[in-house]
Amino acid sequence: MKKDKVMDLFVGYLREKVLQITKQREEIFRCFLSTDTHLSVEELYSLVRKKDPKVGQTTVFRTLKLLCEADIAKEVDFGGRVKRYEVKYGHKHHDHLVCTKCGEFIEAVDERIEELQDKLCKKFGFIPF
């Protein structure tokens, strides 16, 4: 199953950075991967709390940061003030269409757009993210 691979990636990252694999980090990792929505810290915190009410919001915040560094999560910025995070590992790069009124959004993968975006980035010395 794919989840194990991602877990390996996370474990690998932690080892590389000489960080510990704690039960909090594991739980947060699991909760995060178990959804396919674009969670805010608060929302993920709520999820995690259902599994283990003792975990603090700060730890969720920090773990999410680690997950981003490990390329497992990706920060996505819809118009609002809250940051959201999506699973990056195993997901193609894609765009989001976000309603400026209600925040509703959809994910869209368009090969031709991707290709042009890549070219555009290359042209200006950027790396697509």
Partner DNA sequence: ATTGAATCTGAAATTCAATTTCAAAAAGAG
Partner DNA sequence: CTCTTTTTGAAATTGAATTTCAGATTCAAT
113 binds, among DNA, a copy of itself, none (CB under 5 to 8 A by kind): a copy of itself
Beta-strand ranges (E) seen in the chain are 39-40, 73-76, 84-87, 95-98, 105-108
Position 56 contacts DNA (CB under 7 A): yes
Site size toward a copy of itself, by CB under 8 A:
19
Q: Considering only the stretches 31-39, 79-87, 96-104, 115-123, report the one whose residues sit in contact with DNA under the rule CB under 7 A.
A: 79-87
19 binds a copy of itself (CB under 8 A): no
Tell whether residue 40 is a contact of a copy of itself (CB under 8 A).
no
> How many residues of this chain interact with DNA, rule: CB under 7 A?
23
Residue 101 binds which of DNA, a copy of itself, none (CB < 5-8 A, kind-dependent): none
Minimum Å gap between C-beta 114 and DNA is: 27
Q: Is 86 helix (H, G, I), strand (E, B) or coil?
A: strand
Between CA 34 and CA 102 the distance in angstroms is 25
Query: Pick from a copy of itself, DNA, none: which does 15 bind, CB < 5 to 8 A by kind?
Result: none
Distance between start and end Cα atoms, the chain: 26
HSE of 68, CA atoms in CB hemisphere, 13 A:
15
Q: Does 77 bind a copy of itself (CB under 8 A)?
A: yes
> Can you name the residues that pair with 95 across neighbouring β-strands?
108
Task: Supply 128's token pair.
Answer: 């697509």
